[in-house]
Every structure is written in structure tokens, then in C-alpha cells.
A and B are shown apart, each in its own frame.
Chain A
Amino acid sequence: MAEPPLRPRRRFRQPSVIPGFGLTFGYTLTVLSLIVLLPLAALVLRASQLGFAGIWEVATDSRVASALRVSFGISLLAALVASVFGFIVAWVLTRYDFPGRRIVDAVVDLPFALPTAVAGIALAALYAPNGLVGAQLAKLGIEAAYTPLGIFIAMVFIGLPFAVRTVQPLIVEIDKEIEEASATLGAGRWHTLVKVVLPPLIPAVLTGFALAFARGVGEYGSIIFIAGNLPYVSEIAPLLIVIKLSEFDYGGACAIATIMLGISFVTLLAINLIQAWSRRRFGYV
């Protein structure tokens, strides 16, 4: 960190009368290292034995590349849909009053509390050609379960709460006076929404999008039951890790895992950047 020359030397920690920094900070760092950082380092270490060229070779192997494409492509799409509908849900829950609003509000968190394996078998039962929804879709000539569409449905399911819950608190806090001002100045409702209400919400929508995306990319439990698992079509990257492991190809598994880990980092970084930008632009996160 570049230091302004005139200030006294900055310390690692600013002084405080509150006790317990050493204890809690030390404990946090120790536990974090043991549980999270060292095991992740073991993964990167194992992958690094392949060398950069080796990892690149695994990543560009056509089957791995297509699994990564399936995982990332579909979860981008699913995050998009979750964000759009999540926004509508958040808007409806905060702006309108209707019977059962609180129950609907509670339901939003369901995918978060429901175990992924349970969601997986339920979705498979529902969207299979002989399932309740699947049968209707089949009449329209749409196959949902065991196709990329099935993966998409599962990813929307798990991503939705993230999309709703990041936007919801911001909609609550919109200052209605600004909307009134906009209306008074002659703007139509649609114009007010697009030009006045939406812009400050964009960072939150993007954050929700990124969170839903991050969860979708890594998701395993709910997807394997409903995906067709066909190489090049509906094989997701986490499944390919499991497959590589059962082929005793630890290097390959670790390489894919490291790639996914790297992308998690980038997503986290993107979220932080969005929020930093939001802080500068709108004064809050």
C-alpha cells in the first residue's frame, strides 16, 4: 500500500481500548488457515504438479472445455432468469400488499434451507416425462429432465433466493419522494422507473446475479439427478471432477477443481468491484 509521506508510520492495527484483538484475530486466522486455506492450498499444490501447460491441456481438452462451457453457460443463463424474476418478486414483496405476502416472502428462502439432494430428486420426479410438469411439457414437445433445460431449472431453483434477497432491502429504502418529484415533473411511471428507480438498484441486481451464478456453477447435488450427464451436452464440470476421480485421474480432477476455484475468486472479486463502484457512484453498497 502506498503511504502518504507526511503521516506517521501506519500500524497494522489502529489503537483501540477494546480488548481481545490478539485472541480473536489469532483464532480466526488459525481456524481459517486450518479449515479453508491449507486444504485449498493442497488442491492448488496438486494441480501445480501438472505445471501450467498441464492445466492448460486439461482445460482445453474438448470434453473438459465443453463441461466448463455447459456449467458456465447455463448458470449465466439461469442467473439471468433468476435475476429478472427475482427482481419482480422482490418488487412485489416490498411495494405491494396482497394476502399471503409474508408467506410468499418466507417461501423465497426455501432453496436455501432445502437440502440439494432433496431438491434434485423432487425436480427429477416433477420434470421427468412421466412427472407432473414434465408430462405437460412433453405434450408441447419439450424435454426438460435429462437435458440442459433440466440443469437450467435446477440452477434457477438454487439461485433465486440470492437474486431476491440482495435487491429486496434496497427497494425498501428507495426514497419515494424522488419518485414523486419525478412524477411531478411530468415523467410517466415507466419513465420514472427506468430513469430514476432502476439505476441505483443496478449494483444490487448485479451482485445478486453474481451470487446466483457462483452457486450455479458449483452446484452438484440438485443437478446430477436431473441432468442427462451426456458428455458434450449435459455434463457439468463438478460431475466431471467426480468422473475423473473414479478414473483415478487425480491430476485431471485437481486441474478442473483449480480452474473452478480460480473462477470463484474472479466472481468474488467482481462482486467486490461492483460494490466498490456502487459505493463511489451511489454512496452505499
Chain B
Amino acid sequence: MTAIDASQTGRRRARRSRPLRGLAVAACLAVAPPTAAWAQTELLNVSYDPTRELYKDINAAFAAEWKAKTGETITVRASHGGSGSQARTVIDGIPADVVTLGIPSDIDAIARISKKVSADWREKLPNQALPYTSTVVFLVRKGNPKGVKDWGDLVKPDVKVITPNPKTSAGGRWNFLAAWGYAYEKEGKNADKANAFVGQLYGQVPVLDTGARGSTVTFAQRGLGDVLPTWENEAYLVFDEFGRDKFDVVVPPVSIYAEPPVALVEANVDKKGTRKAAEAYLQFLYSDTAQALFAKHHYRPSRREAAKPEDLALLPEVKLFRIEDLQGNWDDIQKKNFDNGGLFDQLSKAGR
């Protein structure tokens, strides 16, 4: 442990002089503990914004199970942020073992640009690499004063909608696609009319935060807007954090099948020698323990039988559509809607 040696010599020297050396000693001492901590196995899960509370529980449960099975101590560290910027950090070299992002196109981007995730990542894990799914519901102010029941109500003239920027936020993209899909089905599969509907909706957005979390703070804490279309899990979390007496959740009759997938970052685990633990972690996400935790945090578990009935009762039956059925594969979905010059750019240009 060179850090400790250095700090000891540093301490000897510091005795005979100068505040500056004292600072150096402080730095060495401060560096020492994390150096020691690296000795045990550590996994890094790079995830998206709303899963902070979820993965706190999951990581603790996994560490306990790993300890029981192998006797080894494992620490799973987490990093959270907008799904797109999180994918960017993986591409730029953050040593992530697994990625658990908000939308498939972000993991596709990692596979395409950095090749650190294998191209067929969706086939490597059960249920298309989706340990859980979710959908988009509406959070409204108590008593639903604007009478928001369905997607069509979002474009009523006096309704202000708070949603994150689809360029940076996965939740923002699901909201965008959900609104589009609703209008597309309603207008007899007319894409132009669907585009117009989405354009009208984003015309009523006063604040475009960079992440789902920012939008929730704007809506719930800062009191802006009338409706917050958001991840189902996020809506219920607001209940827990801000109190049920201030908000209502409105479940629209039809919404999107939101797919937040997971993948192994192959290049990183092979380099770090953590493949075994990382694969076990991803498998663990499909275990009864994890599936029950997903339901507890208001995600829709892929194996419903593992979840507690009272948790499942809070996840109502909604008619869910898959965006791939309407718009083709994910490369096209991403390109058509969100890439530079895509639908979102065209709409915000037209709507200014």
C-alpha cells in the first residue's frame, strides 16, 4: 500500500514544518481508505434517473445473497442520471459492469459506438432483456381540477403539461412516443395527424427539464403545470415523498408499453475480471426477490407470480401498445423522432 507509506513519511516530515506539507498529508490520509476498499469485488451499475430508490434495495439484496452463496463481500455501486447522458459516460469509458437504462435505443447506442455491449444484447437475457416494464400515467393536482382523463385532454387550451426533454431523458421519450401512439391509433393510423397532436402537446409545455427527476421537482415542489405524464413508478413515488393529499394519479385508458432494458458491458467486465459477479447480478434481477422488489417500487415485474398481490393491485390493467408495432425497429424510432433534425426538432422549430 504505497499510499499509506507515503502518508507515514509525510507525517514524519510534517512534524518539523510548514502548513503546506500538512495539507499533503491530509490528502494522502484521505486517499488511503478508498484505496483499501478497492480490494473487494465491486460492481458498477450505470442506471437512469428514477431508479435510485429501487436499486438501493436491489443492490443491498444482491449483496446479501452473494454473501450467503459465495461468502464473498460485494459492493454494487450505482450512478444515476438522464438515460442518454448515462449512456454517454459508458461510451466515454466509465467502468460500468452493467447498464440498466430507460430505453433500448440508449443501449443500442453503446453497442454501436463503443462496441462494449454485444450487438445482440437483447437476446442474452430473458424477456428481451427486460426484468421489468413500466408505462406512462398522469400525475395531476388533487381532485383533478382540469379534468384530465386521457391523452386527448392534455392539449386542452388551459392545460399546462410538464415533461422532460426527450433528447436527454428516457422518460421524456416514452411520454413523447406514448402521446404519438395514442393519436396515431385514434386518428386511424394517420402519422401526420399524430405528429400534429404531439406538436400541439409540446406547445403547452412551459418547462422542459433534462431528466424525469427535474420534471417531477418542477411539478410537485415548485408547483408548475397541471399534469405530469411520467413513469408509473415515479408517480407513485411522488405519493410517498410528497404525500397523497396533494396529488392524484390518473391512469389513461391506453398507454405505452415502456421498456427499460438491462445489459452486460462485456468489454468492461472482461477487463476488470468481474464477469461472473456481473452476470449473476443480471440474473438476480429475474429472481423472486428482485421481482418482488420491482413490484414494491411500482414497476411491472416480468414474472408477476413472484410479486406480492397487494403490490400488483396498484398496477392497474391498461391497454398497452408497443411502439415497435407502430413505428418499426428501434433504430428507426430513434432516428425518426429524436435524432438531430428528427420529429421533435421539427416540432419545436415549428412551434416556437
User: Most chain-A CB neighbours within 10 Å: which of B222, B224, B338, B348?
Assistant: B222
Taking a contact as CB atoms under 8 Å apart, the answer to whether B222 and A229 are in contact is: no
With A130-B223, A229-B165, A248-B109 as given contacts, are A242 and B210 in contact (CB-CB < 8 Å)? yes
User: B205 near A: Cβ within 8 Å?
Assistant: yes
10 contacts between A and B (CB under 8 A): A63-B348, A130-B222, A228-B206, A228-B207, A229-B207, A233-B352, A242-B168, A245-B85, A246-B167, A247-B338
Taking a contact as CB atoms under 8 Å apart, the answer to whether A128 and B345 are in contact is: no
Bound CA–CA A249/B84 (angstroms): 11
Taking a contact as CB atoms under 8 Å apart, the answer to whether B87 and A228 are in contact is: no
User: A230 near B: Cβ within 8 Å?
Assistant: yes
The answer, among B113, B168, B206, B345, for a CB contact under 8 Å with A246, is: B168
Taking a contact as CB atoms under 8 Å apart, the answer to whether A247 and B84 are in contact is: yes
User: B218 near A: Cβ within 8 Å?
Assistant: yes
Bound CA–CA A245/B89 (angstroms): 9
Flag B208-225 by CB within 8 Å of A: 1 or 0 each.
Answer: 111000000010011110
Which residues from A are CB-within-8-Å of B165? 229, 243
With A128-B222, A231-B352, A243-B165 as given contacts, are A252 and B207 in contact (CB-CB < 8 Å)? no
* Interface size classification for chain A: 20 to 34
Which residues from B are CB-within-8-Å of A261? none
Which residues from A are CB-within-8-Å of B224? 128-129, 146
Bound CA–CA A273/B207 (angstroms): 40
Taking a contact as CB atoms under 8 Å apart, the answer to whether A248 and B88 are in contact is: yes
Which residues from B are CB-within-8-Å of A145? 222
Bound CA–CA A248/B108 (angstroms): 12
Which residues from A are CB-within-8-Å of B348? 63, 231-232
| Nearest CB of chain A from residue B173's CB, rounded to whole Å | 12
User: A62 near B: Cβ within 8 Å?
Assistant: yes
Which of B's residues lie within 8 Å of A, judged by CB?
A: 82, 84-85, 87-88, 91, 109, 113, 165, 167-168, 205-210, 218, 221-224, 338-340, 345, 348-349, 352
User: A124 near B: Cβ within 8 Å?
Assistant: yes
Which residues from B are CB-within-8-Å of A235? 208
Bound CA–CA A124/B340 (angstroms): 30
Taking a contact as CB atoms under 8 Å apart, the answer to whether A228 and B208 are in contact is: yes
User: Most chain-B CB neighbours within 10 Å: which of A62, A129, A145, A248?
Assistant: A248
Taking a contact as CB atoms under 8 Å apart, the answer to whether B88 and A146 are in contact is: no
| Nearest CB of chain B from residue A31's CB, rounded to whole Å | 17
Flag A224-254 by CB within 8 Å of B: 1 or 0 each.
Answer: 1000111111010001001101111100100
List 8 A-B pairs, minimum CB-CB distance, nearest first: A246-B84, A232-B352, A246-B85, A128-B222, A130-B223, A228-B207, A231-B348, A146-B207
The answer, among B84, B222, B340, for a CB contact under 8 Å with A129, is: B222
Bound CA–CA A66/B165 (angstroms): 17
Bound CA–CA A228/B84 (angstroms): 19
| Nearest CB of chain B from residue A119's CB, rounded to whole Å | 17
Which residues from A are CB-within-8-Å of B113? 248
Which residues from B are CB-within-8-Å of A131? 222
Taking a contact as CB atoms under 8 Å apart, the answer to whether A62 and B340 are in contact is: no
| Nearest CB of chain B from residue A34's CB, rounded to whole Å | 20
Which residues from A are CB-within-8-Å of B221? 128
Taking a contact as CB atoms under 8 Å apart, the answer to whether A124 and B222 are in contact is: yes
**Closest B residue, CB atoms, query A135:** B223
| Nearest CB of chain A from residue B85's CB, rounded to whole Å | 4
Which residues from A are CB-within-8-Å of B206? 146, 228, 230
| Nearest CB of chain B from residue A241's CB, rounded to whole Å | 12
Taking a contact as CB atoms under 8 Å apart, the answer to whether B209 and A229 are in contact is: yes
Taking a contact as CB atoms under 8 Å apart, the answer to whether A224 and B167 are in contact is: no
With A130-B223, A228-B208, A229-B207 as given contacts, are A249 and B340 in contact (CB-CB < 8 Å)? yes
Taking a contact as CB atoms under 8 Å apart, the answer to whether A248 and B352 are in contact is: no
With A247-B84, A248-B88 as given contacts, are A230 and B208 in contact (CB-CB < 8 Å)? yes
Taking a contact as CB atoms under 8 Å apart, the answer to whether B85 and A242 are in contact is: yes
Which residues from B are CB-within-8-Å of A228? 206-208
Bound CA–CA A233/B88 (angstroms): 26
Bound CA–CA A233/B222 (angstroms): 20
**Closest A residue, CB atoms, query B211:** A246
| Nearest CB of chain A from residue B290's CB, rounded to whole Å | 28
**Closest A residue, CB atoms, query B83:** A246
Which residues from B are CB-within-8-Å of A246? 82, 84-85, 87-88, 167-168
| Nearest CB of chain A from residue B88's CB, rounded to whole Å | 5
Q: List 5 additional A-B contacts (Cβ < 8 Å) besides A242-B210, A243-B165, A252-B340.
A: A124-B222, A146-B207, A231-B352, A246-B168, A248-B109
Which residues from B are CB-within-8-Å of A130? 222-223
| Nearest CB of chain A from residue B211's CB, rounded to whole Å | 10
Which residues from B are CB-within-8-Å of A66? 352
Flag A113-149 by CB within 8 Å of B: 1 or 0 each.
Answer: 0000000000010001111000000000000011000
**Closest A residue, CB atoms, query B339:** A247
Which residues from B are CB-within-8-Å of A231? 208, 348, 352
